Structure 1
Amino acid sequence: MDVIFFKLALRNILKNKMNSIINILGFSIGIAACLFLFLFVKYEFSFDKFFPNHNRIYRVVSTTKTNRGVSSSAFVYYPVAPDMKSEIPGIDAYCRVTMENPAKVYSGNALYSINNLRFADDNFFPFFHFKLLTGNPTTVLNNADKIVLSEHTAKQLFGNSNPIGKTLKYNHKLLTVNGIAANPPRNTHLTFDAIISLKYIGQSDDYKGWDGGWTMLSYLELSKGTSPQQIEKAFPDFLQKKINDKWNRSGWSYSASLQNIENVHLSDGSIQYDCSSNRSKSSIYIIGSITLLILLLAIVNYIILYTAQRLAKKKDLGLLKIFGAEKYALIFQTFIEVLILTATASLVGIILLQVFLPFLNTYLQTTVSMQESVLSIIVFLLIIISLLSLVVSFFSSRKVIKTKSIEALKDTTMAAVSGKMRNRLLVSFQFAVVILLLVSVFVVARQNSFLLNHELGFDKDNVLSVYSDDEFMNNELDGFKQDLLQLASVRAASLSSQTVGNGLTANGYKLEGEQQRTIINALYTDADFFKCFDVHIIRGRNFRGNKSLDKNAVLVNQQLVKRAGWKNPIGKEIDRDGKLNVIGVVNNFNFKPLTSNIQPLIIMANPSWDGWGYQVVNIRFQTADIQSLVHQIKKLWKNRFPETPFQISFLDDALASNYQSYQAQQKIIGFFSLLAMFIALIGLFGLTVFTTRQRTKEIGIRKVNGAKVSEVMTLLNMGFIKWVGIAFAIAAPVAWFAMNKWLENFAYRTSLSWWIFALAGILALVIALLTVSWQSWKAATKNPVEALRYE
């Protein structure tokens, strides 16, 4: 009997080739999307679980409360971890690691780029158990002049020769290669291309105290049997003694908590300053939700087409009933047929994913791999195939099984009303999902365009930025700036401490008229800044251009004046390690990404006041020959600083990088929207084919009685148009609510215009009509005599 069921299943599949192909194609896309989601989530949740003691390694997270608000950071002050280790019982070890930074190094006269350089304590390798190919883990970083290279970086710099003992020049200092590390796993937030001993930073006593300066990722390894809650209980008294006794007088406070290393990579957004490589949990939810919708659409698509063929299957099942088949055997026969289709679709889905995986990883900024999870893929697919086959076969055969054998053998041409209604509802569901995703694509794209083109309060166009290294003195770039001003293509040049628009450093200041200090952003620049960026001084004067005359002079923005409540800001004093005098007020401009509102700002022309130096040369140009200009700038740079790498970029590109994660979301939603639309359309196409075949006799009779082709097409199309309209009515309010919530993440945001929803609905309707009309036209133009003979 089992062989008969298997043969019957194959016969049904081959007999209905078009429906089978449509089913397999739609289902394979759903399986590929679901498999991609499975691998993606599995990879994202695997981060940092390979560390042997990962359950005992915790990162210190700080929270600073001021009269301006609360901010949290994964980067804590230099002495936090060692002081905690020495004064709080239950901590076995600590290790500090700086954030990753790009770097330029010289090997001989050759210049190389290192994308991911970190400084770390000398116990970095024994603490985390990263594998060393060459070198002793306990001594490889024991001196300030030691550097460890990853295997990839060592090969990039030295080829196949042994790099141990060779020297590299970094920031004008020689470092000795003391070890080669295996390339770190991809699933860690502590990736690196090179590690320099933290003693390199420790050579200077500046800015390594509890009051600010150097901050870094700080990890504690807790003793066995010690819970993080036990350690956290000691934090209030510990921090009161270390910093809060002093800070409380200004209305500030500093607190800390512990975060297990497993929870670092997936951010919930509660930590404002964190690793740039971390992925937001919301992005996981977005990708997951959309992918599950794709799979759901594929299942719905399958149910629509499979159950639409119920009448043809009635005869087969009726014959089996007459020959004594039990109802469970009939369910099994349907299960075999569905199982063959789903298994075939799964194999096609694996092939599709393997072919498109490199593109998906690049396009969606993911790192999914099938080779590393073969066993997991097999188990996952077996579960999916079995569950879906059971569900689909049960729901598609339960009504047929209840039909009497004689009734099942009758030749009927009209599907049950309930079946029609169910299929139309499922079509509405499919197009509701499509419309929802289309609205999301339009809104996300509009918001991204809004962010990239919004007026910032300064002119970002036609500005190039040249970056120096951290060890430049304050006056070293002055001569280079004067060289630039001799070029005909250069309109203006200005020196600054940081790139404008990406966020600025913040310090504690006491404003005149206030008793407490306030954290305020600061920009260190020169008198030419305002000309270079077209920022307007609306009250007072500019810097004189003489550092000695302007050593304690500052300009402030309108937001600071409003915050301080000053009616006449000129001449007001601001205290920070001495008195600073306000000489002017500038218009508000967005020195942070547009996810934040404009904040108070202090502009100073004496960076040495706070231990800063000029690190960015901003160049406003007036030429279309950018390549020639860059060549001239590079030549001037090499003449002045032959041993310092030349780094240059467009300011608008740097500002656009602030919104890369949102552009990635746009790509994700756009890509999966196309998949959803494709699945919905092939399902609609298959249902249209089946419906027109079922109504062949009706169409023939109408044409014999004088119905025109247009009238027949209208008759066939109107049902689908109505159900797409219902889909729009369902999707529009859901999309409006979801997009409103998403836009709340931005301080500056676009509006939800009615035409966005109308466009999504019209686009879905047009696509549905084009899909349906092809089959409607074929049916309407068919010879009515052939149609009646067919019946």
Structure 2
Amino acid sequence: MLHNYLKIAFRNFWRHKSFSAINSLGLALGLTCSLLIFLWIRDELRVDHYHANGPHLYRIMWRQLSDGKRMAMPETPGPMSQEIPKKFPEIVQAAGFSNRHAHLTFTVGDKINKETGEWAGVNWFNLFSVPLLSGSPETALKAPNSLALSRKLADTYFGSPQAALGKSVRIDNKETYQVTAVFENLPENTSQKYDFLLSWDDFLKRESWAREWGNPSPETFLQLRSDTDVAAFNAKIKHFLRSYLGINTKNASRFDVELFLQPYEDMYLYAQTDNGEISGGRIDYIRLLSIVAGFLLLMACINFMNLSTARSANRAKEVGIRKVIGAERSRLISQFIGEALLLTFVAVILSLVLTSLLLPAFNQLSNKQVALPITEPDFWLALLVIMLFTGFLAGSYPALFLSSLQPVRILKGIISAPTKRSAKGLFRQGLVVVQFVISMFMIIGTFVVYRQINFIQNKNLGFDRENLIYVPLEGALLTSYPILKQELQRMPGIQYIARMDYHPSRIGSNTTWVDWQGKDPAVNIGFAQVSTGYDLDKATRMKVIAGRYFSRNFPTDSSGYVINEQAARRIGYKNPVGQPLTFWGKPGKIIGVIQDFHFQSLHEPLKPLIMWFGEANTYGNLLVRTQPGQTKQALASLEKVCKTLNPTFPFSFSFADQEYQNMYQSELMVSTLVNYFAILAIFIACLGLFGLASFTAEQRTKEIGVRKVLGASVFSIVTLLSRDFLIVVLIAILIASPIAWWFLNRWLQSYAYKTDLNWWLFALAGFAMIGIALLTVSFQSIKAALMNPVKSLRSE
């Protein structure tokens, strides 16, 4: 019996090669896209899930009530990791982590390179499953000037992990560190990337502000006992910081700080907060792409169902004869679902080939290193589930429909293919509507996502990031800044020089220690703060709208402050220039107001900002404005001067526009993926439409011949054949537009600054959908209309 069913299946596939090819290709494309997304999601879900203590690891979050608003962040005071385990027996161990992505200069013999690493607490290697190749977890980061290297750095500087142990490394040409441990290179599925670790005592020594309880910046990780009730523990630590920050029940109503825990395994996917609560992050991309994968697979299945039911008349007599000779309906259903599963199996094999071919490009696009996990049983199990689900979904309706046909009517010749007026025909058209609703939704989504990303890339930030270069001030450049500036101003290609703590688009330091005349004591406002030097307004082309910027002509500017418009509004002075302002306990005057500029992600609203004078600071970044078209000469000048003044450090720099782009890598990646998948969704929908148009033209061949004999024009016949499909597309547009508006409007709410959802976007997407459908259908319609009526009618 099975042998006969297989023969019949292959015979039908071969007899209707075009329909079989369309079904196989549609399913294969849908499965390929779903498989690529599945591999990406699988990789995302595995990030940070390899630690033995993982289920009991947590990150301490800081929730602050300020200015009537609640915000949450992972930063904590520097002493937290050493103090909190003493107070709560539920904590097994804890460790601080700098999370600064420090780029330090390593010198070993004649090897001088920039390396990226962090500072971490003494318990780091006991908390996390980072295998040590040499050294002990207990002593690796215990002593001052301890240094733990990755295998990569050990091989680079010393030849092997064993040879590195006990050796010395000069860091930033300031201090010598001893290699106390070598750890295995971190896996790709980790969110914390570092090639070296330094001891926590060194961090607190280097950054004196980090020893203060009121300056949250580093992160604190801890391990709880397995029997700990996390909700109850959150309640215990909630007000832990009050005594350290001088907060009591009287002033807690206007300013308070709370602590709570976030599971370590969640922090990669849930990194965003809203109103003091963890709200989302990369998990939103997983949900989005999961929906896209489901849509693509559904569209491929709809193609299969549509074409199978449309061709039902071709197999009606087969069903009738089988029923007459005693075939049960269950056997017929099994036969047709079996054929669907067979076709799905072919599509799965084809999709595996396509996936393996597309993976290199997909990895480059998504910045991943995923591969087909052919050696893992769970992959094949998942693939089997997808194949069975797809096969049953695609074959269920055709099987139920064909098996329900009555043999008496079939053998009398009454059966015909479902028409647009029959219930089955309406169901088939409904499936086409679903396909084009999805396609329309993805076209509109592609337009809106592209516009938002383009809006981000081209928005006026309030400073000019073109021809602006950042150079870190380090080594001898810190103490020779006046000479450096003087030398660079004489070099070709350079227009302006300035210095600043942070990059203009990444100012992350905040404070509430600001006072002014008439300040409401019940209001506690958080201000962003940054120290700057002379000429920053010229180097960045920020606009001063009142007063002036720091100037060499006014020695008293060393105690002056420049604020942005947001700060001026919150402070409330009618004419702020010349008014008193106390910052960090240092009284001074406001000397200028600059136009608001975006110094954080566009996800965040503009905040009040205070700039204080720091021309003589021994830290920060050099900002260089180059002459237009002379970037190459400017870089050569920079490198020459920096190497002369700072020969023990490699020359490093970054472009302001590239730094800004890096802030939105995730959005750019997801936008590009969605664009490609939207194109594939439209192609799959058109593939099904092409098959249906082909079948419709074939079924109406004699009708077309009669119409041509009676004088119908080619245009009228093309219109006749296309009209039904266009009505379906118009219905899909009407259904998809409000759904897309609601979904995309919610997505745009995650940005404080966003593009508009204009009506013409939906109209443009609708016209595009109609145009694509017309192009797809018109080929078969014109071909049928141009057919010689003699050939189509000669059998009559």
> After TM superposition, is the score higher than 0.5?
yes
Question: What is the rounded CA distance, in whole Å, between the counterparts of 2:524 and 2:316 in structure 1?
Answer: 82
Match of 1:480 in 2: 484
1:546 to partner: Cα distance: 7.3
1:122 to partner: Cα distance: 2.2
SS of equivalent to 1:201: helix
Which residues of 2 match residues 355-434 of structure 1 at below 5 A?
Answer: 355-371=357-373, 374-411=376-413, 414-416=417-419, 417-434=422-439
Alignment partner of 1:263 is 2:266: yes
What is the aligned-residue RMSD (CA, Å)?
2.6
* Structure 2 unmatched ranges of 5 or more: none
Q: Which amino acid aligns with 2:285?
A: S
1:517 to partner: Cα distance: 5.0
Question: What is the rounded CA distance, in whole Å, between the counterparts of 1:181 and 1:175 in structure 2?
Answer: 16
SS of equivalent to 1:267: coil
Question: What is the rounded CA distance, in whole Å, between the counterparts of 2:477 and 2:331 in structure 1?
Answer: 85
Match of 1:762 in 2: 767
Match of 1:452 in 2: 457
Match of 1:167 in 2: 168
Which residues of 2 match residues 376-775 of structure 1 at below 5 A?
Answer: 376-411=378-413, 414-416=417-419, 417-469=422-474, 475-507=479-511, 508-514=513-519, 515=521, 518-545=525-552, 549-575=556-582, 576-606=584-614, 613-775=618-780
SS of equivalent to 2:314: helix
Match of 1:132 in 2: 132
Match of 1:245 in 2: 247
CA contact (8 A) 2:493 2:633 kept: no
Question: What is the rounded CA distance, in whole Å, between the counterparts of 1:546 and 1:391 in structure 2?
Answer: 78
Q: Which amino acid aligns with 2:112?
A: L
Match of 1:59 in 2: 59
CA contact (8 A) 1:465 1:649 kept: yes
Question: What is the rounded CA distance, in whole Å, between the counterparts of 2:464 and 2:190 in structure 1?
Answer: 39
SS of equivalent to 1:43: helix
- Seen in structure 2, the aligned counterparts of structure 1 residues 203 and 372 have a Cα distance that, compared at 3 Å, is farther
Question: What is the rounded CA distance, in whole Å, between the counterparts of 1:261 and 1:778 in structure 2?
Answer: 62
SS of equivalent to 1:77: coil
SS of equivalent to 1:598: coil
* Structure 1 unmatched ranges of 5 or more: none
- Seen in structure 2, the aligned counterparts of structure 1 residues 297 and 790 have a Cα distance that, compared at 3 Å, is farther
Question: What is the rounded CA distance, in whole Å, between the counterparts of 2:314 and 2:578 in structure 1?
Answer: 91
Question: What is the rounded CA distance, in whole Å, between the counterparts of 1:742 and 1:284 in structure 2?
Answer: 14
1:62 to partner: Cα distance: 0.9
CA contact (8 A) 1:495 1:614 kept: no
SS of equivalent to 2:526: strand
1:543 to partner: Cα distance: 2.4
1:57 to partner: Cα distance: 1.8
SS of equivalent to 1:238: coil
Comparing 491-500 with 139-148, greater Cα deviation is found at 139-148
- Seen in structure 2, the aligned counterparts of structure 1 residues 405 and 82 have a Cα distance that, compared at 3 Å, is same
Match of 1:110 in 2: 111
Q: Which amino acid aligns with 1:147?
A: L
CA contact (8 A) 1:524 1:614 kept: no
Question: What is the rounded CA distance, in whole Å, between the counterparts of 2:371 and 2:234 in structure 1?
Answer: 39
CA contact (8 A) 1:77 1:212 kept: yes
CA contact (8 A) 1:485 1:493 kept: yes
- Seen in structure 2, the aligned counterparts of structure 1 residues 589 and 472 have a Cα distance that, compared at 3 Å, is farther
- Seen in structure 2, the aligned counterparts of structure 1 residues 747 and 387 have a Cα distance that, compared at 3 Å, is closer
Match of 2:297 in 1: 295
TM-score (norm 1): 0.93
Once the two structures are superposed, what CA deviation does each residue of 1:81-140 show, in whole Å capped at 9, x if it has no partner? 2211011222121122221515242332333243x4121112211221311122222222
How many residue pairs get aligned? The number is 784
Q: Which amino acid aligns with 1:786?
A: K
Once the two structures are superposed, what CA deviation does each residue of 1:462-521 show, in whole Å capped at 9, x if it has no partner? 22221224x778653222111111124222111111111223422221222213653211
Question: What is the rounded CA distance, in whole Å, between the counterparts of 1:214 and 1:77 in structure 2?
Answer: 4
SS of equivalent to 1:568: coil
Once the two structures are superposed, what CA deviation does each residue of 1:675-728 show, in whole Å capped at 9, x if it has no partner? 101111111111111111111111111112222222211211111112111111
Question: What is the rounded CA distance, in whole Å, between the counterparts of 2:4 and 2:215 in structure 1?
Answer: 79
1:45 to partner: Cα distance: 2.5
- Seen in structure 2, the aligned counterparts of structure 1 residues 553 and 132 have a Cα distance that, compared at 3 Å, is same
TM-score (norm 2): 0.93
SS of equivalent to 1:344: helix
Question: What is the rounded CA distance, in whole Å, between the counterparts of 2:157 and 2:723 in structure 1?
Answer: 68
Question: What is the rounded CA distance, in whole Å, between the counterparts of 2:373 and 2:721 in structure 1?
Answer: 48
Question: What is the rounded CA distance, in whole Å, between the counterparts of 1:662 and 1:566 in structure 2?
Answer: 39
1:779 to partner: Cα distance: 1.1
1:547 to partner: Cα distance: 9.3
Match of 2:96 in 1: 96
Match of 1:85 in 2: 85
Alignment partner of 1:121 is 2:121: yes
CA contact (8 A) 1:74 1:273 kept: no
SS of equivalent to 1:639: helix
- Seen in structure 2, the aligned counterparts of structure 1 residues 226 and 45 have a Cα distance that, compared at 3 Å, is same
Question: What is the rounded CA distance, in whole Å, between the counterparts of 2:37 and 2:492 in structure 1?
Answer: 55
Match of 1:225 in 2: 227
- Seen in structure 2, the aligned counterparts of structure 1 residues 153 and 323 have a Cα distance that, compared at 3 Å, is farther
CA contact (8 A) 1:72 1:272 kept: yes
1:279 to partner: Cα distance: 5.2
CA contact (8 A) 2:78 2:204 kept: no
- Seen in structure 2, the aligned counterparts of structure 1 residues 510 and 69 have a Cα distance that, compared at 3 Å, is farther
CA contact (8 A) 1:90 1:226 kept: yes
SS of equivalent to 2:221: strand
Question: What is the rounded CA distance, in whole Å, between the counterparts of 1:273 and 1:531 in structure 2?
Answer: 38
CA contact (8 A) 1:504 1:592 kept: yes
Question: What is the rounded CA distance, in whole Å, between the counterparts of 2:622 and 2:277 in structure 1?
Answer: 27
SS of equivalent to 1:371: coil
- Seen in structure 2, the aligned counterparts of structure 1 residues 527 and 629 have a Cα distance that, compared at 3 Å, is closer
- Seen in structure 2, the aligned counterparts of structure 1 residues 117 and 718 have a Cα distance that, compared at 3 Å, is same
Comparing 780-789 with 387-396, greater Cα deviation is found at 387-396
Comparing 309-318 with 365-374, greater Cα deviation is found at 365-374
CA contact (8 A) 1:73 1:271 kept: no
Match of 1:341 in 2: 343
CA contact (8 A) 1:466 1:617 kept: yes
Question: What is the rounded CA distance, in whole Å, between the counterparts of 1:257 and 1:484 in structure 2?
Answer: 49
Over the matched positions of the two proteins, sequence identity in percent amounts to 28
CA contact (8 A) 2:57 2:223 kept: yes
Which residues of 2 match residues 29-44 of structure 1 at below 5 A?
Answer: 29-44=29-44
Match of 2:201 in 1: 199
1:528 to partner: Cα distance: 0.9
Comparing 541-550 with 752-761, greater Cα deviation is found at 541-550
1:210 to partner: Cα distance: 4.1
Question: What is the rounded CA distance, in whole Å, between the counterparts of 2:715 and 2:369 in structure 1?
Answer: 52
